[in-house]
Amino acid sequence: MNELPIDVLVNKDNLLPSDYYPKDLITTDENENNFHKYNDHQLKPMIRRDIYPYVQKMIEDAKQEGVEIIVDSGYRSYNYQQKVLDKLIEEVGDAAYQKVALPGASEHQTGLAFDIAYYRNGVFDDDVKEEDKEAIWLANNSYKYGFILRYPKGKEEITGFQFEPWHFRFVGLELAHKLYEEGITLDEYYARKENTSLKR
């Protein structure tokens, strides 16, 4: 399978094959992606190399404004996503399906999406809340770098996921601006484009 286009729609209705993986991944930093006990401690946060400069610029500009963020969880394989889902099902039951994507339905598998965390006083924190200055800055500025807040508040019935102030997705500068200005999700953009409904 060829590299996915940056505007690809991945959700519960548009699944990736189990063997898909981005061809050119780059490690964003050397911080272990081990905030959760079930994570692979050897897995470093990775994203597609072609979007790395945009991530770098966003992180650098945020830091200039007193907002220090890191990429927490980037690329996840199909099998790794299954592990994440299985663990959460053990913890919260069927509610897990509103919190974690099914394998194949996760944007993390594309290498174009990541969860953010904070770096405060030498400590990493992935407990991202809507009112945190970092989350606010990203919600208001990430589009300038080609990213969107993928699962916004008030769009749960459209995206199929709970509000996630920590999950950002690269779609390119032009499309990110459009979605931000119109206040729509990637799902809504595609529904308009293809003239389809968004009933879930």
Q: Phi and psi (nearest 5°) for 138?
A: -65, -40
Residue 114 in contact with residue 73, Cβ under 8 Å?
A: yes
Please report, in angstroms and rounded to a whole number, the separation of the first and last CA atoms in the chain: 28
Quote the CA–CA distance of 155 and 134 in Å, as a whole number.
Answer: 21
Which of 32, 164, 181, 194 is catalytic? The answer is 164
- Structure tokens that stand for 45 in this block: 């946060």
Residue 57 in contact with residue 69, Cβ under 8 Å?
A: no
At 46 the three-state DSSP class reads strand
Residue 113 in contact with residue 107, Cβ under 8 Å?
A: yes
Radius of gyration of the chain (CA): 16
Give kind and range of the element (H or E) at residue 148.
strand 147-149
The CA–CA distances, whole Å, from 84 to 52, 78, 81, 88 equal 25, 10, 5, 6
- Judge whether 164 counts as a catalytic residue: yes
Name the residues annotated as catalytic. 164
